[in-house]
Structure 1
Amino acid sequence: MLKRATPERLSTFSDGVFAVLITVLVLELRPPERPTFEALLALWPTWLSYAVSYLFIAIVWANHHYLMRYASEATPSLLWFNFAHLFSISLLPLSTAWMAVSELAPQPVAFYAAVFFLVNATYLALTWELIHRTPSGRIPPRARRIMRVRSVTTLCLFGAAAVVALKYPIVGLGICICCLIGYLNPEPPWAEEQPDGNEQT
């Protein structure tokens, strides 16, 4: 089965998982019990949790597509790194629901940040597999360094957010949100060349 796998099939399978996770997030939303705007506003922890998680999945999805453009073959290591990445993302609906129900209590927010840490760690593994093993002519050395520094820096920040959240949950969540800004554009602005022939759409 591993020999028949292709980057295109792997990317299509991953797209399906991301789509399901977004659907699960939506299904977790519940309307307020009272038909008033005050009751709706009282659910702000739920809406905030959902909005951050939706943005997070969208950013991870975009970055995943960017990485998969450099896959020339679906090696066993790529398959397992990708499955590990999808597993970490699959924890997001659970952590989101717990954080929302608890109204941003310290331990649920810390767990939420820890999920971000795990997602970023598995993304770093994918980056190593797909970017750093790609011939240097296709990706400028400076772009490689920027991607490595960005991944390691945000990994440390997510870890710090999980610790900080145990004492200051809003601050920990804020750190997570700030880290997402660095991944809004998957491709570093210093990249000089685009891969040809393997771009996924």
Structure 2
Amino acid sequence: MKIFSQTFGTVRKKFSGMLNRFFKKKRTRIGIYGPPNAGKTTLANRIARDWTGDAIGPVSEIPHETRRARRKEDIIISGANGNTVTMDIVDTPGVTTKIDYHEFLEFGMEKDEAIIRAREATEGVAEAMHWLREDIDGVIYMLDSTTDPFMQVNIMMIGIIEARNLPVIIVANKIDLTDAAPARIRSAFPQHPVVAISGLEGKNVEDLYETMIEYFG
């Protein structure tokens, strides 16, 4: 009788674990990608603050301030119709096809510091690509709407994301600036949803949240 009781307890424990895994709310890992200074960390911080009260990382006008991927887990975003999506947000280093230490000298860095920053930024790009290959379920691709969307890095990254069949939302950021032209981004990538926002001011961020629920939920 004792043996039966132990066996039944073991089976019940295993069955309970299976049920918990089956009914566990799906969590999606969303990577925020894009070229340097597109506003990735600004958006990541806004999402985290809006839904958890916390920030993810510091921002700077110096390129490649984010040199390691940062993750904020269990962010639950709710829509106007009551739908929700639970996700981890991964703020990734800016992706570019070339990193030159000379660009950091323009911000007043000494040569040795600039060389170190360039090396760290290069390592950060490699880490961002590793996340994209292995651990990302969907992508928010950030673009500065005051710049040319047809840059090589953007064409390359969108192609990689499409090859992985990942859902992607393209964000045309910085519409608070007078020379912003989000229409250029829509014409460049008509195959994907484009949401024009100001991550800094929060303009149209609610539209982005609704789109995230639709595409990542």
RCO greater where, 1 or 2, for CA within 8 Å and sep 6 or more? 1
- With structure 1 as the length reference, what TM-score do the two structures score? 0.28
Q: Going by fraction, where is strand more abundant, 1 or 2?
A: 2
The normalised TM-score by structure 2 is: 0.27
Structure with greater proportional helix content: 1
Higher Rg: 2
